[in-house]
Structure 1
Amino acid sequence: MRFIAPAREAVDPAVFARLPLSYWSEFAALLGAQEWPSVADLDALRDKVQNETKDTLPHFVAQSPQLLGDGLHYEARIAERGIVATRERNWHDLLNALIWLRYPALKSALNARQVAEIALIGAKQRTRAQYALTHFDEGGAIVQLRDPALLELWDAHDWHGLFWRERAVWRDGSIAVHVFGHALLEHALNPNALFVGKALVVAMRDPANDSLADIAAAIRAGDLLNDPQELRPLPLSGIPGWHADNEREAFYADTPCFRPLREGRRYPPLGYSARIGPS
């Protein structure tokens, strides 16, 4: 069933103080205000961010029949015209804009790959890489992991072990989680939502200096996100502090987001991702 976001006036303001939306507090005025920000407001913020960071961002332009009349594919319009067609008064597109504002290099890398794939096979077909890129764009999370041994629990879908027995590592900086997918953030508008992200797992080297720029470069180069099977399911509701009920041990046994490992499912070793960037 397709998720339908609540009306703006129906959103409980408390969700913006909870993870993962609380990580986006710099945009609190856009998220929590009674009135929708206009697409022009978003584009003005784009100019401010670009001037401060020197990153190149596309413009946000209100989607209209006139804009779509150029006949371009959504991704091609970003690449060729520097325009993100953005629906007014729409949570999905507002959150997509915020991802662009915070992670422009990652979004640009995804766009470049999508356009390259479209050039290969046309706009009416989709490659395995396109599915991976889209899954990550919509529901993705980046997880930086200090201890590769945790993958054994994760890959076995031992959710009790990963989130309960190893509870401390989620709090002491051994794991860093960056929610990237705008559809995932949209689901967070529902205070009762059980979140499951599609995680791209990489090795944490120096947390003080770790940058996501290496990941963006690897995606752009085609070293990552060539198949949806690269992405591990991550029930974000299991992370300590991300759901009110996960202080109960039984939460990890009786909650439907914690699914068993499907027969035959295998995940890539951390070494595949860990080679990103300088050692």
Structure 2
Amino acid sequence: MLRAWVDPAAPLPGLDELESRRHRVQDEDGVERPAFVAQTRGLLDDGLHYETRIAAKREVATREHDAHDAFNALVWLRHAPLKWALNARQAADVARVGTKRRTRAQCALTHFDEAGAIVWLSSPCLLAAWDAHDWPALFVDGRDAWGDGIAVTVFGHALIEHVWDGHALPVAKCLVVEAGDEALRAHARGAPLLACWPQAEAALAAAIRAGSLLVDPQELRPLPLAGIRGWHEGRTSDFVAQAPCFRPLRAGRRYPPAWPFT
């Protein structure tokens, strides 16, 4: 997964490189991204909340050669409509409740922004197994479905940073999108990790911006990424049964239905 974002052996991109990439991708797809500007005392003296600055000035305060901020910038480059939708909702709530409080929606938006993933799913039986935290059914019995009936787009920049930093058992907080069989196969092409799906992500971003999604953290399903085919070399039935990331379902926990993309 990490190689889809950066070369693990290469240094992280600095501000100049990130800005160069921003201009290049904007020229390619015509979608605006905010500028990545150095997080200096002078910048912060504007007194603006981080999200408000993005919305009002189209600037992301970015620490030079900081892994967390570098991956945040890289996610902006790949998933701009989703990032803009999250920012619009965050900025609106900051304007409504101020900077001293956080709404349930802000918590949901932040969890997805930091640790989120999109799971594209066409198999109801896999969703039932996942909702029950039946990890053997999802990852062992359902091994061959990954890349066919189910695929993942890793989105959260903190999640990517943890993998980059050597964390072997990351758990994503997921939005689940119900996708058609043929469309999913055409985009995943047998790979369990799907870098991006622009058309579907644009529709998902519109739903987030409208407040139809991410209004409460309880919407997000946990997904131990180490169970996915090809992610972890030691992925066996015993591993799925014993590794601490594969937690049982908490009593009373219920998940919302998948969001339909047609």
Map 1:154-169 onto structure 2 (within 5 A).
154-169=130-145
Is 1:229 aligned to 2:218, yes or no? yes
Q: Could you say which residue in structure 1 is the equivalent of 2:149?
A: 174
| Unaligned stretches of 5+ residues in structure 1 | 1-19
What is the CA deviation profile of residues 78-112 of structure 1, one whole-angstrom value per residue up to 9, with x for unaligned ones? Answer: 00000000001210000000000000000000000
> How far did 1:192 drift?
4.9
Q: Could you say which residue in structure 2 is the equivalent of 1:12?
A: none
What is the CA deviation profile of residues 179-232 of structure 1, one whole-angstrom value per residue up to 9, with x for unaligned ones? Answer: 000000011024452010001001112234752111011111111000001000
In 2: Cα distance, 1:110 partner to 1:40 partner: 25
Match among 241, 248, 251 for residue 260 of structure 1:
248
Match among 235, 240, 244 for residue 233 of structure 2:
244
Is 1:184 aligned to 2:159, yes or no? yes
> How far did 1:37 drift?
2.9
Q: Percent identity?
A: 56
Q: Could you say which residue in structure 2 is the equivalent of 1:14?
A: none
Question: Do 1:61 and 1:86's aligned partners in 2 also have CA atoms closer than 8 Å?
Answer: yes
* Moved >4 Å (runs of 4+): none
Question: Do 2:14 and 2:70's aligned partners in 1 also have CA atoms closer than 8 Å?
Answer: no
Q: Could you say which residue in structure 1 is the equivalent of 2:69?
A: 93
Match among 172, 179, 204 for residue 204 of structure 1:
179
Is 1:21 aligned to 2:2, yes or no? yes
> How far did 1:151 drift?
1.3
The residue type equivalent to 2:37 in the other structure is V
> How far did 1:176 drift?
1.7
Is 1:33 aligned to 2:22, yes or no? no
User: What is the TM-score with the length of structure 1 in the denominator?
Assistant: 0.86
The residue type equivalent to 2:249 in the other structure is L
What is the CA deviation profile of residues 98-151 of structure 1, one whole-angstrom value per residue up to 9, with x for unaligned ones? Answer: 000000000000000001111111111000100000000000000010112211
In 1: Cα distance, 2:238 partner to 2:56 partner: 51
- Where 1:199 maps in the other structure, the secondary structure is strand
Note the aligned Cα RMSD (angstroms). Answer: 1.4
Is 1:195 aligned to 2:170, yes or no? yes
Aligned length: 248
The residue type equivalent to 1:148 in the other structure is P
Question: Do 1:145 and 1:176's aligned partners in 2 also have CA atoms closer than 8 Å?
Answer: yes
Question: Do 2:135 and 2:246's aligned partners in 1 also have CA atoms closer than 8 Å?
Answer: yes
Question: Do 2:108 and 2:217's aligned partners in 1 also have CA atoms closer than 8 Å?
Answer: yes
User: What is the TM-score with the length of structure 2 in the denominator?
Assistant: 0.91
Map 1:83-122 onto structure 2 (within 5 A).
83-122=59-98
| Unaligned stretches of 5+ residues in structure 2 | 188-198
- Where 2:234 maps in the other structure, the secondary structure is helix
- Where 1:176 maps in the other structure, the secondary structure is strand
Match among 101, 104, 107 for residue 125 of structure 1:
101
Q: Could you say which residue in structure 2 is the equivalent of 1:8?
A: none
The residue type equivalent to 1:132 in the other structure is A
